[in-house]
Amino acid sequence: METIARADLIELLQEEHGFSRQQATLFLEEMFELFVQTLEQGEPLKISGFGTFAVRDKATRLGRNPLTGQEAVISARRVPFFRPSRLLRESVNGKKRVQGTQP
Q: State how far Cα 59 lies from the chain centre.
A: 23
Same domain? 52 vs 31: no
Is there a contact between 92 and 85 (Cβ–Cβ < 8 Å)?
Answer: no
* Maximum Cα–Cα distance across the chain: 56
pLDDT in tens, 10-34: 999 999 999 999 999 999 999 999 9
- Residue 23 falls inside a structural domain: yes
- Distance (Å, whole) CA 74 – CA 61: 5
Residues forming a β-bridge with 74: 61
Q: Give the per-residue pLDDT at 100.
A: 54
Q: What is the CATH number of the domain that holds 46?
A: 4.10.520.10
Per the structure, the complete domain to which residue 28 belongs is given by: 1-39
pTM: 0.74
